[in-house]
Copies of this chain bind each other. A is one copy, B any other.
Amino acid sequence: MTAGLIAGITGLKAFAANGGRKPRVVIIGGGFAGLNAAKALRKSPVEITLIDRRNHHLFQPLLYQVATGSLAPSDIAVPIRELLKSQKNVKVLLDEAVSIDLAAKTVELKTRGSLGYDYLVLAAGASHSYFGKDEWAEFAPGMKTVEDALAIREKVLLAFERSEEAGTPEERRALKTFIIVGGGPTGVELAGGLMEVARESLAGEFRTSDPSEARVLLIEALPRILPMFPEELSQSARSQLEAMGVEVINNKMVTLIEEGVVHLGEETIKAGTIIWSAGVAANPIGRTLGVPVGRGGHVSITETLNLAENPEVFVIGDMSSLMQADGRPLPGIAPVAMQQGDWAGKNIARVVTGEAPLPFAYKNQGSMATIGKNKAIAQIGDRQFTGFSAWMMWNAVHVGKMAGFRNRIAVAYRWLTTYLTGRRPSALIEADDIH
């Protein structure tokens, strides 16, 4: 039989099994997980609806570079419609999924009522968690969306602008103090990036207040930053940050955040800019499923990536929690989301044609974190890398992973410019008013 004939028969089977219509697959979320699920179904005889509340897919690992002015939003964000343009079995909807009814097999949308599904892929990602202290959000914003990153960029640039004309030396010092709460990869990237903005990009641009006097503090409650890496790499990351001038504070818990002040127990630090990168929680739509969720709202799934009682529902990426053989859950990182998206799509394709879904196994291709120019750490298999070699690997992997993004050349060009000149092409304050 030819491949075409097989596909035809397969399609016919699925068609017949669903009372004369193609199975409806609803995917919630156009991030790495959702997008890869849609793509894995490109040859399946299904009708896919992909719902996202934004019109764009975001290459989130580079979002901190929007916050630090190296990249423009359009360098790392591409309209989802454009990415799926040629895949005719997908319809993209700009809307927000509010809740899910497992019994009725429907998704409730914010503006368009309810939508029925035969298969559901829940891939709505995660957002900041303030561990129950949501009132801190106002004073210490987090960074998950393009808009978050632009708000942080504006806050940082305005702090330097204000310090140029601040009344007292104390005010000036506070304005040029930046605190990042949380020493995970995003916190580390932001700390290094902000220090470079202060010492390189803005050098020589002010006449009264010297940006290079800026203090950047990275606070991590655990004994070391980047705790998901081996201890030696954590230590190296700390040394590399300190060599840049970042002050790393470990083993101290933030007990209170107010406007411009961070409390570490008795101690207080004044800072014009406070950024939160300490915790994430799964998208709250997971709680509407009515199934058990873990701390952080993560939905427990089977090894085939779906719900035990409702196998037609797949929950993937940052929304779910899958235990590994070593008793630890898979981390909430881009490669896991991408691989799970692809796998969930393939499992749906199998089920639709009468085959059994297959268990997912994460292929760990290594992990890395960047710190600044020529500074990074990387773990590939048993090998560890630090400094320039790790940094070059990080660059190569991140430009490489943007494959399919026409913006790759633009990103590489911008990086080269920033590398050579220290300038940040996107250091703009776009807002309408001097706040």
Which residues of A are at the interface with B, using a C-beta cutoff of 8 A?
53-56, 72-75, 77-79, 81-82, 85-86, 88, 91-96, 110-112, 145-147, 150, 157-158, 161, 164-165, 202, 204-208, 406-407, 409-410, 413-414, 417, 421, 423, 425-434
Contact = CB atoms under 8 A, between A and B. Distances in A.
Q: Which of A55, A202, A409 has the most CB of B within 10 A?
A: A55
Contacts of A414: 410
Contacts of A202: 81
Given A94-B434, A161-B55, A434-B110, A74 B413 contact: no
A55 B159 CA distance: 12
A423 B409 contact: no
Contacts of A85: 204-205
A95 B434 CA distance: 7
Nearest to A431: B147
30 contacts: A53-B433, A55-B157, A55-B427, A55-B429, A56-B428, A56-B429, A72-B73, A72-B75, A74-B426, A77-B428, A79-B427, A79-B428, A81-B205, A82-B423, A85-B205, A91-B207, A91-B208, A94-B158, A94-B164, A94-B434, A110-B434, A146-B428, A147-B430, A147-B431, A150-B430, A407-B425, A410-B410, A410-B413, A410-B414, A413-B413
A428 B73 contact: yes
B74 A425 contact: yes
Nearest to A79: B427
Given A86-B204, A93-B165, A406-B417, 19 more contacts: A53-B433, A54-B429, A55-B157, A55-B161, A55-B429, A72-B74, A73-B428, A74-B425, A79-B428, A81-B205, A88-B207, A91-B208, A94-B161, A94-B429, A110-B434, A146-B428, A409-B413, A410-B413, A413-B413
